[in-house]
Amino acid sequence: MATKVAKSPWLLHYDGSSCNGCDIEVLACLTPIYDVERFGIINTGNPKHADILLITGGINTQNKAVVEQLYSQMPEPKVVCAVGICACNGGVFKECYNIIGGVDKVIPVDVYVPGCAARPNAIIDGVVKALGVLEEKRKNMKGGAAE
Amino acid sequence: MANRSVVPFGPQHPVLPEPIHLDLVLEDEKIVEAIPKIGYVHRGLEKLVEKRDFNDFVYIAERTCGICSFMHGMGYVEAMERIFDAEIPPRAKYLRTIWCEMSRIHSHLLWLGLLADGFGFEALFYQCWRMREKVLDMFEEATGGRVIFSVNKIGGVLKDMPKEMLAKFVHNFNEIEKELKDLTEVFLTDYSVESRLRGVGILTRDDAIRLGAAGPMMRASGISIDTRSIGYAAYEDIDFDIVTSNDCDSYARCEVRIKEIFQSIEIIRQAVEKIPGGEISIDIKGNPKGEAFTRVEQPRGEAIYYCRANGTKFLERFRIRTPTFANLTPMLYTLKGAELADVPLLILTIDPCISCTER
Ligand code: SF4
């Protein structure tokens, strides 16, 4: 990962079918103690502005279409970060009848953050990893990114 | 006739941490009807009792909701203890009481923050969440977890808090109380905050009864019901007055919740003073048979747990009735006739917890 963050990546957070545990930890990352905003990271509510999609919780039949739609609305390059074991593979709810599985069942996931609930430090770590992936993707984009 | 249009709201929306979808039927800027669609977070948790044995299920019950995880775990184990007819050690009861109230404080601070965020007062949001982190730090020190604690077991609790730790916590809460007084000032007397909350989302006393509101939503309409007063955990030995307000609007809901934080701090002080020594858990043997109900006052209102066991390792049925579910109807009622700009606020004032409602 580069020592400096060249651009300010914006986050979009969506709660798949999480128990809220990971959700509030994602929010905690934005608040004074952890404060990802110091890296220029902002939580946006608009997928069209977002570079990184943070998803908590697994995929179920209801939210499948929503997740797919959010992903497709994000501009390239984009990175998906699955937060919490639920988002990684279904976690404790894996055997529930309504759970299809982790987020990677419907959209490609680049970074997996483990934990139940994932700790803010781990989430920030994941986001920082995602920045590296984002940079990589930007470079690989056809024609390169406009600098 | 004014123009009618339908505006979809959610499931992904900046002010909502959790997905809920509403179709808002508007006449100009006024809402004539709100049609909800829920189910985005449904996992089918209750049915997992058929796959996890009754001891393991404590961990699933806790994950009903990450905000009141402790209370969900406790509601389940208390129901199971009733089936086993087990009397848990008094120290465990007090520990549960303390953790319950700590959960309430952290949940209400979280809500106050979200409310501030909802009406665009970012600095206030940050202040609330900064204070909330202090509560989480204490949780981490006591249990090892920040939001999911896994300290309940059928027959008691798994971790004890030594005397020094309790004394330290009381000291910390005294500090938090001081800071909270400043925040209360802002929430209850700042004119810009008041102008967003006063008179918004009126739910009269009769409507609250008719529509079956729960928790602070109900108490803000002047109804004095609090499940803690029927006594579970160690609440029988604790003195407290139920916080109510007669204003019936969003301001009243905010007021009730803030006052409940002070009340919780007071309950913790009392519990720490009275906590007896001794064991923290007893052994439970055999498999459960029978059925039981328990009621728990969560930060959002009364939750009901039901377990039915048939003598095997796996329960036959587990059921939760959550407070947010009860509050959805009053919420839809308050939305009718409201301005579009007030929608996020009105949704927030019931303190929705979708993940426990849909499980
Ligand atoms: S990983 Fe654990 S804490 Fe996170 S959403 Fe899933 S169950 Fe909840």
CATH assignment of the domain containing A116: 3.40.50.12280
Q: Using DSSP, state whether B24 is helix, strand or coil.
A: strand
- By alpha-carbon position, which residue is closest to atom 3 of ligand 1? A117
CB contact under 8 A, A21 and B133: no
Q: Shortest CA distance to B17 belongs to which of A86, A79, A20?
A: A20
Does any ligand 1 atom lie closer than 6 A to the CB of residue A88?
A: no
| % of chain A beyond a pLDDT of 90 | 0
CA distance B130 to chain A (A): 6
Total domain count, chain A? 1
Question: What's the whole-model pTM score?
Answer: 0.86
Q: What is the pLDDT of residue A147?
A: 47
Q: Indicate if ipTM > 0.95.
A: no
The answer to whether B44 contacts A92, with C-beta atoms less than 8 Å apart, is no
Residue A17 near ligand 1, beta carbon < 6 Å: no
Give the pair of three-digit tokens for residue B178. Answer: 């001081």
CB–CB of A31 and B147 under 8 A? no
Judge whether residue A2 has pLDDT over 60.
Answer: no
Domain membership flag for residue A147: no
* Minimum-distance ligand 1 atom for the alpha carbon of A118: 4
B13 contact residues in A (CB cutoff 8 A): 45
B32 lies within 8 A of chain A by CB = no
Give dist(CA B76, CA B58) in Å, integer. 7
Which range marks the domain in which residue A83 is found?
10-139
- A85 CA: nearest ligand 1 atom: 1
A vs B, Cβ pairs < 8 A, gives 121
Q: How far apart are the first and last CA of chain B?
A: 42
Asked if residue A21 belongs to a domain, the reply is yes
In this prediction, residues A11-26 reach a mean pLDDT of 83
Q: pLDDT for A52-104, tens place per residue?
A: 888 888 888 888 888 888 888 888 888 898 988 888 888 888 888 888 888 88
pLDDT value of residue A39 = 76
Q: Is A38 on the interface with B (CB under 8 A)?
A: no
- Three-state SS letters, chain A: CCCCCCCCCEEEEEECCCCCHHHHHHHHHHCCCCCHHHHCCEEECCHHHCCEEEEECCEECCCHHHHHHHHHHCCCCCEEEEECHHHHHCHHHCCCCCEEECHHHCCCCCEEECCCCCCHHHHHHHHHHHHHHHHHHHHHCCCCCCC
Contact status, residue B258 vs residue B187, Cβ threshold 8 Å: yes
Answer whether residue A145 is part of any domain.
Answer: no
Q: What is the DSSP letter of B53?
A: -
pLDDT for the residue numbered A144: 54
A127 is a domain residue: yes
- Domain B42-322 falls in which CATH fold? Cytochrome-c3 Hydrogenase; chain B (1.10.645)
- Report the separation in Å between the CA atom of A40 and the middle of ligand 1, taken as the mean of its atom positions: 27
Domain ranges of chain B: 42-322
Amino acid B116: pLDDT? 86
What is d(CA B171, CA B161) in angstroms, rounded to the nearest whole number? Answer: 15
Q: Do A19 and B145 touch (CB under 8 A)?
A: no
Give yes or no for residue B41 CB within 6 A of ligand 1: no
Window 69-108 of B: residues touching A by CB (8 A cutoff) are 69
Which residues, given as ranges, of chain B have pLDDT below 70? 1-2, 14-15
Q: What is the distance in angstroms between the Cα of A48 and the nearest Cα belonging to chain B?
A: 13
Give the distance (Å) from ligand 1 centre to CA of residue A56. 8
Report pLDDT for A5. Answer: 63
The radius of gyration of chain B from alpha carbons, rounded to an integer in Å, stands at 21
Residue B307 φ/ψ region, left for φ over 0, alpha for ψ in the -120 to 50 degree band, beta for the rest: beta
**Which residues from chain B sit within 8 angstroms of residue A24, using beta carbons?**
17, 66-67, 110, 147
Say how many Å lie between the CA of residue A57 and the centre of ligand 1.
Answer: 6
User: CB neighbours of B77 closer than 8 A, spacing ≥ 6?
Assistant: B58, B61, B152, B153, B154, B155
User: Which phi and psi angles does A30 have, rounded to 5°?
Assistant: -90, -10
B163 contacts chain A (CB < 8 A): no
Q: Which pLDDT belongs to residue B29?
A: 79
The ligand 1 atom at the shortest distance from the C-alpha of residue B147 is 3
| CA-based nearest distance B185→chain A, Å | 21
Tens-digit pLDDT profile for residues B188-247: 888 888 888 887 778 888 888 888 888 888 888 888 888 887 777 778 778 788 888 888
Angle at B140 between CA B137 and CA B146, to 5 degrees: 90
Is A131 among the domain residues? yes
In this complex, which of A62, A93, A117 lies closest to B40 when CB atoms are compared?
A: A62
Q: Is residue A68 part of a domain?
A: yes
Number of alpha carbons in the 13 Å side-chain half-sphere of residue B4: 6
Of the candidates B12, B48, B66, which has its C-beta nearest A22's C-beta?
B66
B136 contacts in A (CB within 8 Å)? 28
